[in-house]
Amino acid sequence: MELRDVRTFVAVARHLSFHRAALEVHAAQSTVSARIAALEDELQVRLFERLGRRVLLTEAGKRLQQMAVKLLDLEDEARAWVAGASEARGVLTVRVPESLCAWRMGPVIRQFREAYPHLRLRLISCTVEGLENDLRQGVTDLAFLLADSVRAGDLVVEALGMEELVLVAAPRHRLARNATPFGLDALAGETLLLCTADCAYRKIFESMLAEAGVHTAACLEFSSAAALRGCLRNGMGLSILPTSAVREDIDAGNLAVLPWDSPTLEVAVLMLHHKSKWISPPLASFMAMVRAELAMGLSPALIDGLGVKSLQNTDAGKDKACCSSKE
């Protein structure tokens, strides 16, 4: 099999679209079709079912996809070993919450760029939905979550630290002027500004409101954390966000931490990759840089509290990675 044809097959299998696969491999759609036809002819199997405009993998195609990804990983490994770090090329795709990327990972991105100037780093806003499938299919090389737990048996999950969550609003908001702490019931009828891109901790907050029987006004949803903060500063409502995402606004007096009487809320900062993923030298370097950066400023007690470095999908792992509350 030609590796070029295998790479084209993986692209079609990933997108389930000959058109999008053609864009990825920089070839005409007719060329992609010809390569797939040649591969099917060589293997004497049908790899895709074409049902009108829909493209689906056959059982043979699903089996080949798993092996093809390993073949391409091996090719990348050989190229990286021969070329050396400074000449590494290709694309590294990372899914990461916007708030974590913007306020915690800037030094990592700069350092990685200096070490691998010819490798393209692709950063995508991360949500839980579809993540496991993307990691399994090789669409995403590495992912990060701010979450209370991850339930995926074929993912390697590493806890890097904890991120505090705070309830914030504009300083002129009525709840920001409270001298005494208030309970969740004070949020009844309030407008919530919530971010779809960082949805894991949003679900924690919404669950707390539901358990307390608190009904808020219709929420405003944002795909951009920056746009959400802009509306917060304009007094449109309140939101729960990681402290690192709003620290500058709080210090500048643009936002205020609301004095609610809930225990301090934290979510784990989790780094995930598929257990069968080949960790290339650039990917290993990126992971090491992130570990070093996100561990800065954490107390030894907090690091010890995370317990273990790698958290598999076990009951113990879920307990270590979950959202915690402390008095």
Question: Which domains, and CATH codes, for the chain?
Answer: 3-83 (1.10.10.10), 85-327 (3.40.190.290)
Please, what is the average pLDDT of the chain?
80
Using alpha carbons, select from 12, 19, 22, 74 the residue that is nearest to residue 47: 12
Q: CA 35, CA 10: separation in Å to the nearest integer?
A: 12
* Cβ 170 vs Cβ 232: under 8 Å: yes
Q: pLDDT tens digit string along 279-312?
A: 888 899 999 999 998 875 444 444 444 433 433 3
234 pLDDT more than 50:
yes
Q: What are all long-range contacts of 43-46, with beta carbons under 8 Å and residues at least 24 apart?
A: 43/1
* Cβ 72 vs Cβ 245: under 8 Å: no
The neighbour count for residue 187, using CB atoms within 10 Å, is 23
Between the alpha carbon of residue 240 and those of residues 27, 103, 164, 203, 287, the distances in Å are 45, 16, 10, 11, 28
Region of poorest pLDDT, from 51-60, 173-182, 187-196, 316-325? 316-325
| Higher per-residue confidence, 222 vs 319 | 222
Mean pLDDT for the stretch of residues 126-152: 76
315 pLDDT more than 60:
no
* Cβ 169 vs Cβ 177: under 8 Å: no
The pLDDT of residue 180 is 86
**In the structure encoding, which two tokens stand for residue 242, read together?**
């990681």
CA 208 to chain centre: 23
Between the alpha carbon of residue 79 and those of residues 75, 120, 185, 280, the distances in Å are 6, 16, 59, 10
Using alpha carbons, select from 208, 243, 245 the residue that is nearest to residue 225: 245
Q: CA 107, CA 99: separation in Å to the nearest integer?
A: 14
Region of poorest pLDDT, from 36-40, 253-257, 258-262? 258-262
| Higher per-residue confidence, 216 vs 316 | 216
The neighbour count for residue 11, using CB atoms within 10 Å, is 21
The pLDDT of residue 140 is 85
Confidence label for 85 from pLDDT (cuts 50, 70 and 90): low
Confidence label for 81 from pLDDT (cuts 50, 70 and 90): low
118-119-124-126 Cα dihedral, nearest 10 degrees? -150
The neighbour count for residue 252, using CB atoms within 10 Å, is 9
User: Please, is 203 exposed, middle or buried when counting C-beta atoms within 10 Å of its C-beta (0-12, 13-18, 19+)?
Assistant: middle
Q: CA 198, CA 134: separation in Å to the nearest integer?
A: 17
Point out which residues pair with 195 in neighbouring strands.
222
Q: CA 185, CA 262: separation in Å to the nearest integer?
A: 11
